[in-house]
Amino acid sequence: MNAADQPLLIVENLTVELQAVRGAIRPVDSVSLTLQQGKTLALVGESGSGKSMLCRAILGLVPSQGGIRFNGHNSGSLSARELNRLRGREIGVVLQDPLSSLNPVMTIASQIVEPMRCHLGVRYREGKQRALALLRDVGIPRPEERLECYPHQLSGGMRQRVAIAIALACEPKLLIADEPTTALDVTVQADILNLLSKIQQDRGMAIILVSHDLGVVAGRAHDIAVMYAGRIVEQGTTAALFARMRMRYTHALFEAIPRMDDPPQRRLPNIPDQPPDFSALPPGCRFAPRCEYVGERCRAEYPLLVADGDDGHRFACWFPRILTTKT
């Protein structure tokens, strides 16, 4: 494999261990994944499944064990100064709540220019011209006026577009979008996701798209990794995963997606009970207490990821869904 074919991001057996009141917990437990340049990887799962913590570990914001290679370099061995250079310059981040992630006392122009001054040494006047171009790129109307606005003067959709512009200011190779549409009106969500897709096509960057909704990522991601209780329970290309959902948790997430042809007042299926407590995980499969197909082996032994075919699709389940083909 030559350098051009090397994945942009390689995560190997990554574990994050934190000290809690009731002892050590592992919100990320032995996670491995790869991401190619120009591709989108979706991390999907309920709140508390470890998606955001995995992203923080990739960014070097929390201590972790395991391997993280970004753009051919071992980022786990970088100093604090080198990690600061990596964040913002090589990896951009868009958070789910732009009102809390933006500085309320700085103008939009200042917030977009700041990473360019910090990482690229750009002067303010030049940076402001670049900021104007970025606002046009992300579809902000009347960008000249918006440069002098403060975050509270913009709508939620425009604030998220500004957050995307800030993340793109230094032309990163990877963009991490952590639930980028959660705090937005439904009518605006599709616009933001379409914008991210267009920016990716224009710039050729990779994206990690974090979401709790399989329906959101279905047409947006090249690959999907489903997380539950800190571990990946199913992963593969989007086409393979939707064609052959084997893990029961993945299928439960899929069944919870509203559909246009649903009858009025249809009650959506839900996953019973609550996600597991990281300080009191069950000894076997972590989904076992909520799974209607649970068996004795599920309660005693954790299933490892196994291949389902030769296309990279893998799942972790002792009693996977049996797929049938129509004749």
Return the SS3 of 115.
helix
* pLDDT of 309: 84
Q: Are 96 and 183 in contact (CB under 8 A)?
A: yes
* Residue 41: per-residue pLDDT: 97
Res. 187 pLDDT band, cuts 50 70 90: confident
pLDDT of 157 > 70? The answer is: yes
Structure-token pair, residue 266: 């249809």
Dihedral pair phi/psi, residue 311, rounded to 5°: -105, 15
Sheet architecture: strand order including 23-35: 23-35, 9-20, 65-70, 73-74
Average pLDDT over residues 217-231: 95
Hey, where are the domains in the chain?
Answer: 3-90+172-242
- Residue 310 has which token pair? 């030769």
Encoded tokens for 194: 């379409």
Q: Averaged over 307-312, what is the pLDDT?
A: 88
- Report whether pLDDT(237) > 60: yes
Is the separation of the CB atoms in 236 and 311 below 8 Å?
yes
Residue 216: pLDDT over 50: yes
Phi-psi region of 48 (alpha: psi -120 to 50; beta: other; left: phi over 0): left
Residues 70-121 pLDDT 10s: 998 898 788 888 888 889 899 999 988 877 889 999 999 999 999 999 999 9
Question: For the chain, how many helices (H) and strands (E)?
Answer: 12, 12
* Segment (H or E) for 196: helix 186-203
CA–CA gap between residue 33 and residue 29 (Å, rounded): 12
CB atoms closer than 10 angstroms to residue 67: 14
Which runs of consecutive H residues, i.e. helices, occur in 23-170? 51-58, 80-89, 98-101, 108-120, 124-137, 143-146, 156-168
Distances (CA, A) of 123 to 113, 114, 133: 9, 10, 16
Confidence band for 281, pLDDT divided at 50, 70 and 90: very high
Phi, psi of 277 (to 5 degrees): -80, 125
Express each pLDDT in 285-298 by its tens digit: 999 999 999 999 99
Structure tokens at 263: 């009858």
Which pLDDT score is estimated for 2?
Answer: 52
Q: Is the pLDDT of residue 324 over 60?
A: no
CATH number of 3-90+172-242: 3.40.50.300
What's the whole-number mean pLDDT along residues 136-145? 94
pLDDT value at position 20? 85
